[in-house]
Chains A and B, each alone.
Chain A
């Protein structure tokens, strides 16, 4: 491949961070516009047409969200986003089912919105089991089955991971949970719109999603709460006017909800074609990097992986310096230096990626508006930057001299 070809017309910076957030699709924005002017009513105003019009839009959106995940519209609660959905699902179940038990099961690569909520419960006297993961980020169904106890009330396992893209065996988890009579919550923020998600077929009892990962606006999300077989009950975490059947008070964010609904509708219509497009672009990027660079390693699962995710460790090159060297690309790194904690990614750590390689990792995520030209530009940029920084790297020099870096006595500081 000629790395310099066909890359001149690309507009930079190039956005390759769709796992972080997505731009609002113009079609979504267009659908939202009337809610800022003529349809401005409070969806709870039952006594005049302004309220009715807003309520009608909210209910249309509720059906659109439900339709994307195979739910019924009565099972959809609107929230401020997935963090709130995850909090509500976990805290709400824990509070209402504590008489049955105080044990929950999750995994160490969950989003912080799940892990930190679990930690709150641990401080309140609940017990949480963190399942082990293999080196690709998958849980073991056997281990899950063994971890479920008579006092287990909830299993919370994400559908697709936001850093490494690994897709968990959701249907199997749902089947085991159903068999054992335990509720199953999944954080499906990264999965919906990219892979098929069906709460019936997959045996999901609670599901969190958010608009801004699927080309909707920020600040709005939803929680699916199963109504039949079994009927899931939740203790509200936000109290007030009794909106959303008393499970989530607060004036409905009509504009956001309308945007979420439209985003879900588009996601459903384009799912098959779009996921294929994402996969093609992602695979082109990975192939291009492999063709031109040695000593690079894929983090996560080779096939059970979100179609838009690529997480790569570039040995001997620290992630933050790599991002600084390719400022034309907007990506993320699992390197410590990009976080305020100075700890490298807990997700990479949980799947056994050594800290030395964790510091060299970059997450690329492609999306609806990514083009082939952008991918080719990105390949050329990554290759030239890695090559330049390796020339600067004492570790690369040592590796070339045949020194085993792991055998060196390092002076940790």
Chain B
């Protein structure tokens, strides 16, 4: 039996999906995104379709989001939140992101945040997917955000977060504990 190969878009989104999946499986470990498109375009192309919802920060423009058929909703109702840069003003809308409910923890939002990896604030990660502990450095995210995250992530409730720095992405699932160390 023969199977059709991947179309360029399928290949691209498959590669991106694998990077995102592995980054949540191994919190704090960085994975590489394709250089074919801007990273936020790649992620939006991969995650959004007709049946998903999203919101964008004021400074974020993603062409794929508009083309996907996904609905743009207010922050409290959106499943995916895209912030190419996170500013102090963005914290108010980020704080409204859904953490899910006990019957439906899967309704917790996924945040895709532009930031720096391997520079800035130091964190020690522990929890599922981490062998003992791992040290990560994350830059260009306001420190108040991490307080919001700690309040939001009461497993099984919380946010799943991707930090995107150029072609690299790290995942911070709601299940991982983050301790500021510097």
B and A form one assembly? no
A residues lining the B interface (CB < 8 Å): none
